[in-house]
Amino acid sequence: MDKHARFEEKRDFLIEWVLEFHYTTPRILCSALGLNRQHQSNFFASLKKSGLFKFIRHPFIRENVIILSHQGRNYAFLLSELAESYSMTESRITGSNLIHNLNVQQAVISRADLSRPFNFRFDKHVTEITKGKRPDAVYMKNGVWHALEVEITQKSRNRIYAGFLEQIENMKSEHYEHVEYIFPSASLMSRYQKRFNDDFWPVVYRDKTGKFKQQIRDGELVMADARSDKIRQRFSFTTGMPYQ
């Protein structure tokens, strides 16, 4: 493959990656492509020259954030139907979401097959699951769908249990067969594992205002039996986040 064809291949990979995750960074892109970041200055110069991308400085990280330009979105229609819904702008990149999103991307890179067409999806494209109950990403491995949940901060007790129950509901509906929770530290992971290891979980629901509340029946808390091996074997907990 000549240099021009290789550039087009990497450029189109980047476009489809950004359509999936809304934005990315040079470090993430090089990781996904298996490239040494230090040797790609000419490649990124060519990307900037193409006019298909915007490189945006963000105070939360020490590198640029890459999004599609208007011209890039128009070109993206040739590659993917996701271009129709792409609307990312510089003002919509918030600090908290940025760190979370980049960690989801890195988690996908280390677990999924990255060949095109992609066999993974970011949460907003997992449309068969109700919004609010979707995992951060899903990916196919050995013919089986897996889900990823990136947990950066401590959530409330009720929200943790609600998340576990939503994962089980999604797996019962055969959206995926396994879910992996990923944490930035062992201490945060242990707090979730402690809840998960309980034999019985409180049944939690969202009220009309979006608050998580425990279900009560006849004056007593409703509990779910979580002792089944089918439940235990379908969850895993790991640590490791490059962006913190």
Q: Among the three residues 93, 120, 147, which one is the final residue of a domain in this structure?
A: 93
Distance from C-alpha of 70 to C-alpha of 66, rounded to nearest angstrom: 13
pLDDT tens for the chain, 244 residues long, are 788 999 999 999 999 999 999 999 999 999 999 999 999 999 999 999 999 999 999 988 989 999 999 999 999 999 999 999 999 999 999 887 999 999 999 999 999 999 999 999 999 999 999 998 999 999 999 999 999 999 999 999 999 999 999 999 999 999 999 999 999 999 999 999 999 999 999 999 888 888 899 999 998 999 999 999 999 999 999 999 888 7
Number of domains in the chain: 2
| pTM of the full structure | 0.94
- What lies within 8 Å, CB to CB, of 149 at 6+ separation is 135, 136, 163, 167, 179, 180, 181, 182
Q: Which domain holds residue 235?
A: 95-244
What's the CATH number where 182 sits? 3.40.1350
Query: Strands 216-217, 64-68: parallel, antiparallel or unpaired by DSSP?
Result: unpaired
